[in-house]
Each structure stands twice: as C-alpha cells, then as structure tokens.
A and B are shown apart, each in its own frame.
Chain A
Amino acid sequence: MATVSQPVSVLEALRRVRQEAATYRGIWSWIATVDHKRIGILYGVTAFIFLLAGGIEALLIRLQLATPNGDVVSPEVYNQLFTMHGTTMIFLVVMPMASAFFNLLVPLQIGARDVAFPRLNAFSYWTFLMGGLLLHASVLAGGAPNGGWFGYAPLTEFPYNPGHGIDFWAMGLQILGISSMASAFNFIVTILNMRAPGMSLFRMPVFTWMTLATAFLIILAMPAIAVALFQLEFDRLFGANFFNPVKGGTPLLWQHLFWIFGHPEVYILILPVMGIISEVLPTFSQKPLFGYPFVVFSGIAIAFMSFGVWAHHMYTTGLGPIANAAFGVSTILIAVPTGVKIFNWLATLWGGNISLRAPLLFAVGFIAMFVIGGLTGVTHSMVPSDYQQQDSYYVVAHFHQVLFGGAIFGIFAGIYYWFPKFTGRLLNEKLAQLHFWLMLVGFNLTFQPMMILGLMGMPRRIYTYPQGMGWDEWNMLATIGSFVIALSILVFMANVVVSLRRGEEAGADPWDGRTLEWSIPSPPPPYNFRRIPVVRARDDFWHRKYVEGPGGRPVPVVAGGAYEKHGHQEDEEHIHLPSPSYFPLICSLGLPIFALGFIFKDYALVAAGAVVILYGIYGWALEPATEG
C-alpha cells in the first residue's frame, strides 16, 4: 500500500506547487508561468547572461590579437572562442533579445491579454534555454565547437573534426530552431487574430509589424538550416556522404543551404530592432512616424528580398560570372528599402520636439552606426570589390556595424524605453548617458580599425599574425576599444541594480507615449487591460491625449488622457487568464536528453528523451485549460 500512498503524496505536493504557481509569487510561479510579460523578462535576462558570456569570449579574442604573435590562448582555444562568440551572439543574444521584446510588447501593443498560445510560448522559452545550455555543455564533453558559426563542411565533417563539439553545435542549433519556429507561429497567430477591436493592420504599431515580418522570415528560413544540420549529423554519426567529396558528396551544398538560412537570418536579427527604432523616434520627437506605409512596406520588401541574396556569401566559391552578377544586382537592390527606412527616420526627427533622453540617444546611435553597416554592405555587393573583402576583417567590421552598431544599440534603446513599463521605475539618466557615450566611443574604437585591417589584407579567423604586416597599431586600438565597450556594459548593469531599488517612479506614461502599452499601469497587471480597448486610430493612445488643432498642431484633450486605473476586485475576478503549466518545461527538458543520446550514440538515452517529450506533450494535451 505504501507504493500507492507514495504517488498520492507526490501528486499532493505537485498540487501545492501548482497552487503557488497560480499566486504570482515565488520561484514556482516563474517556472510554470505562461504570462507573456514574465516569459519576456525570462528571455531578456537569459539573453543578457549569454551576452556576458559572448562578450568575455570577444575580450579574449581581442587580447589574443592585441599584439603580433600573441599567446594568450592556444590556436585550438582561439578557434573555439570565435565559434562560440558568433554562435552565442546570434542565436543566444540578439534573437532571444528580440523574442523578449516580442513577448513583452506585442500583446500590449495590440490590446490583447496574452499571446494566442501561452503554453507554447513558455515552451519556446524553455527550449531556447535548453538549446543554449546544450551548446555550452560541450565544454564539459571535450571542448566547445570549433568550426565557426557557419560550420563549413567538410571541415566540420567527422574525419577533420572527430570531437563532439560540432555535434553539440548542430544539435544545439536544431533545438534553438524548434524554439524559434514555435515562437514565430505563436506571434503570427497572435498578431493576426488577437488584435483589439478597431486595430486594423494599418493601425498596428511598426514594432508589431516588424515582429510579424520577422516571424514569417523565421518560419521560411529555419527549415533550410534544419535540413543542412540533419545532413551534417547524418554524415557525422552514420557515415552518409552529403558533403564528402571523396564519396561523391558536395561541399558547396552546405554553403547554399546555410546561407539560404543565413542571409534571412541577418534580417531576422535586424528587423525587430528597426521596429524598436520606429517606436522610439516618434515618441521622443512628439511626432508620428514619417511615412508609416513606406516604413512598413520597406520592412516587408526587405523580408522578401532577403531570400534572393544568399550567394553573395559565396562570390569566391567559383559559381561563375552569371550567378555572381545576378546575386550582385539583387544584393545591391536590397539597399533601396533599407535606405528608405533611414530617410524616413531622419524625417521623423526633422521638425520634431526632440528629447535627448537615453532611448533617443541609443536610437540615434543606431541610425548613425547602422548606416555605415548598410553602406559598407553596398561595397560588398559590388562583386569584384568583394573578391578582396570576403573573409577579411573588413567583413567583420561591416557586420558588427549592423549587428552591434545596429542591433545592440537598438536593443538598448528598447531597454531604456520600456524598462519603466515593466518595472515601474526609470533607469538612472546620468548613468544611461555615460553608458551611451562609452559604448559609442568603444564601438568606434573597436570596429572602425577593423575596416582598415581588412582592407590592409588581414583575414578573419586567424589566431595570430606576424610582425611587419602593418596591422599592429590598429589591432591594439581595437582591443582597447573592446574594453571600453565592456566598461559601458558594467555601467549599464550598475544602472539596472541601482534603479530597480531606488529608481524614480515611472507612472503609466513617463515618455508621453503613443501606443497602447502606455495606457495601462506600470508594471502592467497580469491581465494587461481591464477592459479590452477599442482602437480608433494609429497611435491610438496619443489621440486619446491630444487632438490635432489648427495647422496640424496637437492640443491636449481637456480631460487629460484617460489612463487605465487598477480596477475593482470584482472586475478583475471575471477576467479569464490561462493557468500556469509545467508541461512546456517537461517537454523542453526531453529535447537535450534526446539530442545527447544521438551525440554519444546511446540509444537508451534517445529513448529516455523521447519518453520525456511524449510525456510532456501528453500531459499538455490533457491538461484542463483553466483551473477549475
């Protein structure tokens, strides 16, 4: 009988844990949460921790290259460092940072109480965490992956890379892909189906639009890398010959598949940030976004065109002049919609009433640095000039202008802008400004010298270089710059710690915001909107506060803008919210077990992983939708 009473008490314990989860207090309430705001915070905090890891890797790389013949790390460790730096920053920092913003903002911006599939949303987060942890677990199993974030075959094939690092890399990315796909479907359904009454597509905030475009990109791009990774693992684990030329395979097949994913990926990283910029600039200029339809359509155009430019990563693989010319022209053309966005942002600032607070500074930093990234991109698209630049430090400089000068500056603009919404407190402005200037100076010190290094013939991914190449001073500058960036990140962290405790109270609408998220209290209650708003205009909340007077100048509404107040207890009790659930986490836990089984060819482990996943899905399917 003891065997019977045991499960009962476990169930009893589980029930208590479930109850705690429902109270919105304590660790269990976070682990079982399906609230989009909490999932967003989990995404953001996790991505920030990975940012620190990737940043430390970058600092080690810069220390190694600070002087010629550096010996801070060995060649093997160096190769692991740049592989992990690239993989981490792309898949574990910028993508999940974007996910954090999608989660935090999309339901609030469209006037919804949560995403369409809250448990799937939790599953996306946990799966992202598992993928990231699996990738890093490689360090414990004989060494991190060392084939570069692009993992070119046949260098990543078994004969040239017999360790487990590449397997961890491939399986980790596969799991991260599952997370991204689940999240992308979720946000497409949410945006298309859960908008508040009156929120037509062309009244949606641009950030929500860019989320939608990004989600479609993810769905269309991820399968290509999934196929490539499956093929690689079949080659490595079972001796298939997809990429092995000795047995009739094709090394270039990997590159095509990888870049059919890889180029849209660049826009997966940057479109959400363009959305953030399109929110910050109007608010801090007190003017609507200039040419909303142009900004939206150029975003969609970029998303479409991004699938037709992949071979510009392969100009030097010998595709021949016809293919190179065609991809050269398509790549040149993608600069057009990108330029349109820049010009529209400038026109948004022009004639505004610009508040130079931290979110605006970072947004301006984004424009100023991203434009270098775009223009250097044009110099790459010019095929003959790229024959020189391909795989040189000029490329490293270029994409850091896009992904750091662009994406990271934009992400910080978003953090400073929305931090008060989700914590109720403003970040300290003085520290924020210090952070901005340190980062801007550090960024330029680090990456502009790399542009020169590349043009002076320094290839990427080299663990060292001899004296007498004329590269010494520029490398030293870049290393100094990287430590200035590190300092700026420390300032930011200090700011968060200080401001969470003693920061100025934000109130619902500290920036005179334009979109719906500013109409509800900070931090928002679990149910977001006590009453689902009825939307009458683009920038609906602004129009509740101001009417356009003569000459197009806004006049404050006499009633002073109706912020939503906390409702009465009776009101709140009638709001239907999804219940917390542990099954998404259980499901996610099975994935790395399953993957580890394949990595070590231990099929019992594969079976165990499969059982955990199936148990998670089964419990998930049979779980009642709401607590009874």
Chain B
Amino acid sequence: MNNRQRWSLRNIILIALIAIFCGVIFWGAGFLYTGLTVMLTPLGMAPFANDILMGLWCLAGPLTGYLIRIPGSAFLGEFLGSAVEVFLGGQWGASAFISGIVQGFGSELGFTMTGYKRYNWGTLLLSCLTTTIVTYLWDWFRSGYNQYGLLMNLGLFATRFISTFVFGGVLTKLIANLLDRSQVMDN
C-alpha cells in the first residue's frame, strides 16, 4: 500500500497525525467510559467498562501498523495516541504513557510475528490477539485482575478480545478498504 517503507520525516509526521486524530476521537468518546463505569459500578462490574472500550483505545496501533508498513510503526502510533491524552487533559498522567508503551508493544508484536510481509485479515487478527494478551497481563497486576475468580477473568478476557477485534481489526480493515479504493496511499 505504501511504497516508501522507511522512517522518512513525512512518514513520522503521518503516523503522529493519525495517532493524534485517533486520540482526539476517542477523547471525545470519554463520556462513554464514564457513563458505562457509573452504570456498572453498583453491580461491581466496573472493570468491564474498561474492557468493553479497550479496542477503541488500542485502535491507533493496528491502524498505523497496517497503513504505514514499517517495523515499529504500530508501536509509535499507539504510544503517541496515548501521549495525546496526557497533553490534552493530563488526568491520567504517567500511567497513560505506560499504557501506551504496553499497548504499543502488544499491537507491534502481531506485525512482528508475520515478519512485516503479509498484511491481511490474519495479520490484524494476530495483532489484536497479541494486544489483548499483553494488555491483559498488564491489568492482571495493575488493576488487580489476579484477585478475581476464573469466570470473571474469562468474561473480561473475552470482552477485551472482542472489543479489540471490532475496533483494531474490523474497523481498521474497513478504513484500509476505503483508502485502497481511493488509491491515496499509492504515492
């Protein structure tokens, strides 16, 4: 899709801009997270709000990794997407940087496993799977998921994977299809 597979100034700016666009769009959907958390808190199911929206937060990684085919682009896109949050409002502070590193590593891993050679549904599925596993491990410690029972953990993991696949997989592919049809990424 993109012939200039190198870290040119233009590609770096493009990745950063796409990441910021994603960051600003999901910043606008922040009310959803708050609303879901408020609704689920009386049931004790608030972590589900986090996992339902996980895919939206992790969209920038698979998207930039899929569109700009350079090793490291998924990581950079996802990390910058989180960094936007720090500089837009800054409420999550240092923790958003770490989430960005963890999520970026997760989505990059999927592309690394294909050797940056194949770009199709399988690649996206793999990237979504690695994102889910890596971020879940992180929440296992950070958000105390290790203290929940098996059933709750299975539910959270499945929710997170579906969410990541819907946004990082399906939405990314639909966006890429639109870009393919318009042939803007060719030159």
A, B: real partners: no
User: Which residues of B are in contact with A by a Cβ distance under 8 Å?
Assistant: none
A contact set with B: CB distance below 8 Å: none
